[in-house]
Amino acid sequence: MARLVLPRLGYPMSIQRPSPTAASLRRRLDDRTATVGIIGLGYVGLPLALAFARQEFRVLGFDVDPAKVESLSAGRSYIEHIPSDELAQLVSAGRIAATGDADRLGEPDALLLCVPTPLTPQREPDMSFVEATAGEVAERLRPGQLVVLESTTYPGTTEELLRPLLERGGLTCGEDFFLAYSPEREDPANPSFSTSSIPKVVGGADPISAELAEALYHGVVQRTVRVSSARTAEATKLMENIFRAVNIALVNELKMVYDRMGIDIWEVLDAAETKPFGFMRFDPGPGWGGHCIPVDPFYLSWKAREYGASTRFIELAGEVNIAMPQYVVRKLQAALNDRGKPVKGARVLLLGLAYKKDVADPRESPAFEIMDLLLDLGAEVSYHDSHVPQAPPMRSWPDLPPMRSVELTEEALRDADAVVVVTDHVAVDYELVLRCAPLVVDTRGIYRHSGGQAVPA
């Protein structure tokens, strides 16, 4: 049995001699004649499709949303930070195509699963999208295909859930088809890092699958980081996001403590950041958002219970971050009360619906929870966000009324009883807001030294 040493990670990995099926697939991956199928064309899948198409792979995208398939087929981007002109060129050149036809799942040589992995109302993993997709793939799986799960999930998903579903048609993993996990690491609109420049962690259900998955991504990313198993790759993604979740909770808790002490958390952070070692800055806010940070820690908590382990640190971080929108609303209530105004009937304008600055992604944004709480208290709520012109239906807040972004004018600001800065988009005229709004509740440290009508939250 041959042995392959991975010097970057410093440990040997044994691999069996590849079968003719694996060798054939490896050749197609190396010479880029392989077709790459991407299932789920959202914030992860579409950038991934572009990355492969730029490197001369043929990409076939799958999505259950006909609007996305139609838009992509016409070369129109539906994600703000992805330009339509390049997409149109790749579609015109035949590098990218899109379909909603599951019967075409047998065409690609590699299938990358980029489907949602949300939480149930009980904060347990909702694997229905992964299971449904795996079922569709299993019905059409052919020898020589590589399947890679990219969706964030708990350790063991690839081997314990996905593998049995794919093998039920009679094909054997590692011999007839190949299976790996490679977590997405997208950061939408990040000017410094893109899909191709972010190192790609890869772990296989078996050594041959790992080698093939590494070969696949090697053609489109600057660096691949191969780990010993799919479980290790799954745990790596959770480690990254739990690290962020815990530190966000820490700084949010300190914000609340320092506020009671009359200490400016932003000034503290600026001073602490001058230390050249041993400190990494995280900024407080109105709560966590996005698809990853509010969801992924609970995946590990759920899986840990199977092993009789508790994750008290993770659970505590979740409690702190989940409670932040309530803290913002309480600060707003107190500020209105100081001005002799009840929340009921108050006109409140939220600045920002997206979960972070300068993106159009509203998934799990704390703005929706703040909006929901204020509506329950009888406030009249509107919002401004040039990146999100219309509030989409949200799974976690199904009863919110339809709403569109209002124009940020002097009249709109003066008409509001309070303005809440939820997302600190660069395009907002914050001087105009401060000049015209009677009360500003600031969750992002925009108005640190203004005093007067600006209240930190």
What pLDDT is stored for residue 428 in this prediction?
97
Is-above-0.75 flag for pTM? yes
Q: For 121-173, write each residue's pLDDT tens digit.
A: 888 999 999 999 999 999 999 999 999 999 999 999 999 999 999 999 999 99
Q: Are 183 and 207 in contact (CB under 8 A)?
A: no
CA angle (184, 358, 239) in 5-degree steps:
30
Q: Do domains 3-228 and 252-456 have the same CATH topology?
A: yes
- Residues catalogued as catalytic: 292
CATH of 252-456, one of 3.40.50.720, 3.20.20.210, 3.20.20.80, 3.90.1150.10: 3.40.50.720
Question: What tokens does 387 get?
Answer: 């990146």
Tally the C-alpha atoms within 13 A of residue 294's C-alpha that lie toward its C-beta: 21
What pLDDT is stored for residue 398 in this prediction?
85
Residue recorded with tokens 């382990």: 309
Residue recorded with tokens 């050249």: 276
Tally the C-alpha atoms within 13 A of residue 394's C-alpha that lie toward its C-beta: 26
Residue range 3-228, CATH number: 3.40.50.720
What is the strand order of the sheet 418-421 is part of?
380-384, 347-351, 418-421, 440-442, 454-456
Between CA 87 and CA 74 the distance in angstroms is 9
Among the residue ranges 121-125, 246-250, 268-272, the one predicted with the least confidence is 121-125
Question: What tokens does 198 get?
Answer: 């972010």
What pLDDT is stored for residue 451 in this prediction?
66
Higher pLDDT, 166 or 296: 166
- If we measure between CA atoms, which residue out of 344, 237, 378, 251 comes closest to residue 295? 237
Strands 224-226 and 178-181 come out as: unpaired
What pLDDT is stored for residue 8 in this prediction?
43
Strand ranges for 23-153 from DSSP E: 35-39, 58-62, 96-99, 110-113, 146-149
The domain locations on the chain are 3-228, 252-456
- In this predicted structure, the answer to whether residue 53 has a pLDDT above a threshold of 50 is yes
Residue 194's pLDDT band (boundaries 50, 70, 90)?
Answer: confident
Between CA 8 and CA 25 the distance in angstroms is 25
Residue 296's pLDDT band (boundaries 50, 70, 90)?
Answer: confident
